[in-house]
Amino acid sequence: AYNTYLYAGLPPGPICSPGLSALQAAAHPAKGDVLYFVANGRGGHNFANTLAEHNKNVSEFRKTLKK
């Protein structure tokens, strides 16, 4: 009933309801100064401390899409 590709309309209950661990992580984030992340195209992520670093990572990821 929650697969909206198979069933028309909204599902019978809430959608995108976070679990307890997600709520705890949001309330108590891990220590660190990393603000940005982007997929690396190989199943992982690249993390960055600045917007400039992040934009470089995004550019590198986009190059993998053109191959």
Per-residue pLDDT of the chain (67 residues; tens, 9 = 90+): 888 899 999 888 888 889 999 999 999 988 988 889 998 888 899 999 999 999 999 999 998 888 6
Q: Does residue 20 belong to any structural domain of this protein?
A: no
Question: What domain range includes position 36?
Answer: 32-66
CATH code where residue 62 lies:
3.30.160.60
Q: Does residue 39 belong to any structural domain of this protein?
A: yes
Q: Does residue 24 belong to any structural domain of this protein?
A: no
Q: How far apart are CA 40 and CA 28, in angstroms?
A: 26
Interior CA angle at 58 toward 54 and 63, to 5°? 150
pTM for this entry: 0.55
Q: How far apart are CA 27 and CA 49, in angstroms?
A: 21
Q: Does residue 22 belong to any structural domain of this protein?
A: no
Q: Does residue 19 belong to any structural domain of this protein?
A: no
* Closest C-alpha to 51, from 61, 63, 37, 64: 37
What's the number of domains the chain is made of?
1
Model pLDDT, residue 16: 83
Model pLDDT, residue 15: 83
Q: Does residue 62 belong to any structural domain of this protein?
A: yes
Residue 27: HSE in the Cβ half-sphere, 13 Å Cα cutoff: 7
